[in-house]
Chains A and B, each alone.
Chain A
């Protein structure tokens, strides 16, 4: 009886995510499948296991799964779906995902790195063989290596992890300012407000409280959107003309 219930629940879970639809399209977005050549996709179209979505240089898209999980794709992004669309293979590009409470587990794989969660809002970016970046806005995300048992860590809200795609040991995560991220992230700003907006704001408030308490010190180091390049700015709270430094070295150690 118990086995039946578990199996049934698993099937329902898979079925819930099996199909998803495109809910927003900005410029050049293409849907590919095993049977057909890539073609432009329109809002409202469904996609399923084995399909892939590619965005162009200025393209962006939002996908909504039947359990209301949201995935927003950035420019020049390539994703494909398997395991009842519960596993997303991020070949290249950036993706924001928001998994609501009660939804199934979503796993995103890119190179040797996988991230998985059952309730979170986070961003993952892969840039070729250069790096994979994971940022958590709310909830908890497990980040692990698919080829190394036990190499796993939990990323909490406000934590960022940057690693090479072929990494053999995950580095320590650093902390970032969620509020600044939310103000500057196009995957947030150019779309409808996220259903998890309130929880993200709550995490922003927690960070402000920790800053007030002295647990966090806003540094003058900012990744201004140039890969992983850290820029020294004059004051933590403003964004004056940047002075580029060398590419990120000891991110969490630099004063």
Chain B
């Protein structure tokens, strides 16, 4: 039965579009940028230079919270294994334009609601039969706990629909609950480590075979080398527990990117990611390298 499901060369195995969407899609929905104010300590005594430097009247900045985010992006990758297969890999060039619309009203100082739509397309240059589109509609809550090292907790419902790109015929639809916790560790002002755990629990899907729960651990490292230039590296370890049969995959993803912010709303990136998938059914084993670049336009209002 399992072997019957093995793809022929050039065809995507069941769930490969889902894997591709997760590997290259925008998984990290933008969160509100809450920057906790740092405290200044008390300092004593007058100085001989008090008159030299004059008087400083403090102006209080009123933070203007912008709950809407529109992001349009278009990464282009060379991929070493377009169909994510264990044998007969074919490389290809993949363009994955997408748009994210997000509304994140602030409910309290540290609690935000999140409602959003993410639509992304995956167009292959040669293996056009693999083309697909991914639509996510999400709704949930995002809660910050500044008292616990700025721990961020997120829980939301995700409706995911994969379609072809010609007639938007449905390939797969899934309803899931995603629970996510992230803990940032600031090394210095321009460097940060982040550790996270995410549970993606599918409670309904069609067809059944690609349906699965994902249990992820991940970590990222970000360093801002200048005002506009930053480097990011990330590692993700995912256990994918499929509902159909006894299939369980272990997936590891390593990603490195360099980002140059041309304007507040425009970012250019060089992107690379490497993924290894090991399954208890070796037919689903694969490895893939993706190297490319992208442009992203983001507006907040």
**Chain A interface (Cβ < 8 Å from any Cβ of B):** 57, 60, 74-77, 93-94, 123, 125, 127, 130-131, 133, 135, 148-154, 158, 160, 162-164, 169-172, 174-177, 180-188, 207, 211, 214-219, 221-230, 236, 239, 246-255
22 contacts between A and B (CB under 8 A): A74-B53, A76-B49, A125-B49, A130-B44, A149-B191, A151-B188, A152-B190, A163-B40, A164-B43, A170-B189, A171-B38, A171-B41, A176-B58, A181-B56, A215-B61, A219-B58, A222-B55, A227-B43, A229-B46, A230-B58, A253-B37, A254-B58
Of B43, B45, B53, B224, chain A has the most CB atoms within 10 Å of the CB of B53
A158→B54 contact, CB < 8 A? no
**Among A150, A164, A239, contact of B188 (Cβ-Cβ < 8 Å):** A150
A75→B49 contact, CB < 8 A? yes
Given known contacts A164-B43, A172-B38, A250-B40, A177 and B52 CB-to-CB distance under 8 angstroms: no
Given known contacts A57-B48, A130-B45, A181-B55, A255 and B60 CB-to-CB distance under 8 angstroms: yes
| A224–B50 alpha-carbon span in the complex (Å) | 8
A249→B40 contact, CB < 8 A? yes
**Among B38, B57, B58, B227, contact of A154 (Cβ-Cβ < 8 Å):** B227
Tell me what chain B mostly uses at the interface: helix, strand, loop, or mixed: loop
| A151–B38 alpha-carbon span in the complex (Å) | 14
Given known contacts A175-B59, A176-B57, A75 and B52 CB-to-CB distance under 8 angstroms: yes
A247→B43 contact, CB < 8 A? yes
Contact residues, B226-266 vs A (CB, 8 A): 227
| A135–B55 alpha-carbon span in the complex (Å) | 11
Smallest CB–CB gap between A208 and chain B, Å? 11
B189→A151 contact, CB < 8 A? yes
- In the complex, chain A residues whose CB is within 8 Å of the CB of B40: 162-163, 171-172, 174, 248-252
- In the complex, chain B residues whose CB is within 8 Å of the CB of A176: 56-59
Smallest CB–CB gap between B161 and chain A, Å? 41
**Among B52, B61, B187, B224, contact of A74 (Cβ-Cβ < 8 Å):** B52
B54→A215 contact, CB < 8 A? no
Given known contacts A149-B188, A217-B62, A251-B58, A74 and B49 CB-to-CB distance under 8 angstroms: yes
B47→A127 contact, CB < 8 A? yes
- In the complex, chain A residues whose CB is within 8 Å of the CB of B223: 150
Given known contacts A171-B40, A175-B61, A236-B57, A150 and B189 CB-to-CB distance under 8 angstroms: yes
A224→B55 contact, CB < 8 A? yes
B54→A227 contact, CB < 8 A? no
Closest B residue to A236 by CB, please name it.
B57
Of B43, B47, B62, B188, chain A has the most CB atoms within 10 Å of the CB of B47
Closest A residue to B191 by CB, please name it.
A150
Closest B residue to A133 by CB, please name it.
B53
Closest A residue to B39 by CB, please name it.
A250
State whether the Cβ of B146 lies closer than 8 Å to any Cβ in chain A: no
Given known contacts A130-B43, A215-B61, A123 and B191 CB-to-CB distance under 8 angstroms: no
Given known contacts A149-B188, A230-B58, A249-B40, A127 and B64 CB-to-CB distance under 8 angstroms: no
Smallest CB–CB gap between B109 and chain A, Å? 13
- In the complex, chain B residues whose CB is within 8 Å of the CB of A152: 188-190
